[in-house]
Amino acid sequence: MEGNSRSPHATASGRRPEVAQGHLPLPVADGGSLTYEEFLVRYALARQPCFIKNVGAQWPATTNWRNIRYFLEHEGVDLEYEVEAAAGPPCESREVETTVGEALRRIEAGSGEPFYLSAWPYVRGNSGSLADDFVVPRYFERSPKWVSHNVVLGNAATDMKWLYIGSKGTGSPTHIDTNLSSAWLWLARGRKEWVCAHGDDYELLTEGIGSAAYGYKNESDSEEGETETLPDFFHPELYERWPKVSSARLYHGFQEEGMICFNPSRCVHAVRNVCDSISLTHNFLDATNVADAMFDACRSMNEEILPMSMEPGMKPKTFVKMLAKMMGISRKELSKTLSELPGLLCDENLSSLIDAAASGAEDEESKRKCAEILRRELEVRLREVKPAFVSAATTLRDKLGLV
């Protein structure tokens, strides 16, 4: 491993002193030798962003995804699928409604203004056969169906699988990933410049920001009463404009072709395409971040869903119908999920969660060890969040009459 996998600012007492201004190098792990246990301990559970090099050399994507023509001529790609692209540099971009085909042709033509086919949901967008070109590395997406298909955790409605294809100068402004999930981002072509905060600095960076912390939002989008915004990590006066950033651990680095950037749950991050780029992003929830996802689900139930359901004149049935429509799922499916929600973290589910994650380890002995590490860690992490989740989920279920 290169760079620093442990925060240089952690002390023996576990307390972090004020950090000097400036960025730390993003650690680089070697996918050829990184074990699953090392990945868990150093990165996923530690909420430490990193690069992983030497991944995917044998994948068809390594050769095929170097050229936009491949996507344009691939018979499994739905070029008519409607998407929102971004025109212009990251913090000033405009949304453009277009199709996959038009966006790809525009980027291929390279007509001046930066243009980004960002967050192309290629699986939902009828182009899932592109997944034949790569294999999900052993470190990621190890979750049982009750997590990966749960609508409240976001996955069934949005499968969290995207492609990002854009010209030089495009990028994604500072944000936090949906449901406080983790993400692996593999670069097929180009070069990306990243700034990622340590996941444990999430509270510090999002304090006082409220819902503006979620998604790509800029100052003009802030809601009433929310005066702060997430810091623009690429702003030339970052530390002057957002002084609290000097107390956070910010990691900086350039992602080269064939490398993964791993963003753990709670990691606030921003990225720029230094040159024309083609990349794959999958977000996921598993045993390493489920407690964070539950924390986010509590926030969403208490601050968004419950208040909405209690608006004057709102009938429970109408509310469920409206919510199902917003999530793009059937009313029946949503009602079933919401009625079962308070029992989601039962012992049986937690065991299957741990087993699914530990199955990433190389042999039986390592699987046992990883399962033990995960069990201990989950116990601590769920201690507070589980009662809060059960309480919010029960209130919601009862309020909607879904018992």
Among 114, 171, 342, 360, binds ligand AKG (CB under 6 A): 171
> Which CB, 118 or 150, lies closer to ligand AKG?
118
Q: Which is nearer to ligand AKG, 267 or 344 (CB)?
A: 267
- Closer to ligand AKG by Cβ: residue 173 or 342: 173
State yes or no: residue 167 binds ligand AKG (CB under 6 A). no
| Interaction of residue 172 with ligand AKG, rule CB under 6 A | yes
Between CA 148 and CA 160 the distance in angstroms is 10
The nearest distance, CB 171 to ligand AKG, in angstroms, is 6
Sort strands 94-99 and 115-120 into parallel, antiparallel or unpaired. Answer: unpaired
Report the alpha-carbon distance of residue 183 to residue 175 in Å, rounded: 13
> Residue number with the shortest CB distance to ligand AKG?
172
- The answer to whether the CB of 273 falls within 8 A of the CB of 167 is yes
Residue 22 main-chain phi, psi, to 5 deg: 120, 160
* Among residues 48, 118, 127, 289, the one that binds ligand AKG under rule CB under 6 A: 118
Provide the 3-class DSSP secondary structure of residue 161. Answer: strand
**Residue type at 310 in one-letter notation:** M
Give CA–CA dist 100/80, Å, rounded: 6
Per-residue DSSP letter, 199: G
CB 80 within 8 A of CB 100: yes
How near is the Cβ of 234 to ligand AKG at its closest, in Å?
Answer: 12
For position 179 contacting ligand AKG by CB under 6 A, the verdict is no
**Residues 284, 289, 292: CA angle, nearest 5 degrees:** 115
Using CB under 6 A as the binding rule, whether residue 173 contacts ligand AKG is answered as no
Residue 53: CB minimum distance to ligand AKG, A: 17
Q: Does 271 bind ligand AKG (CB under 6 A)?
A: yes
Give the one residue of 122, 164, 295, 389 binding ligand AKG; rule: CB under 6 A: 164
| Residue type at 383 in one-letter notation | R
Q: For residues 280-309, which are near ligand AKG according to CB under 6 A? A: 281
Instruction: Provide the minimum distance between the beta carbon of 216 and ligand AKG in the complex, in angstroms, as a whole number.
Output: 9
| Beta bridge partners of residue 197, listed in sequence order | 250
The residues that touch ligand AKG, with contacts defined as CB under 6 A, are 118, 164, 171-172, 177, 183, 185, 269, 271, 279, 281
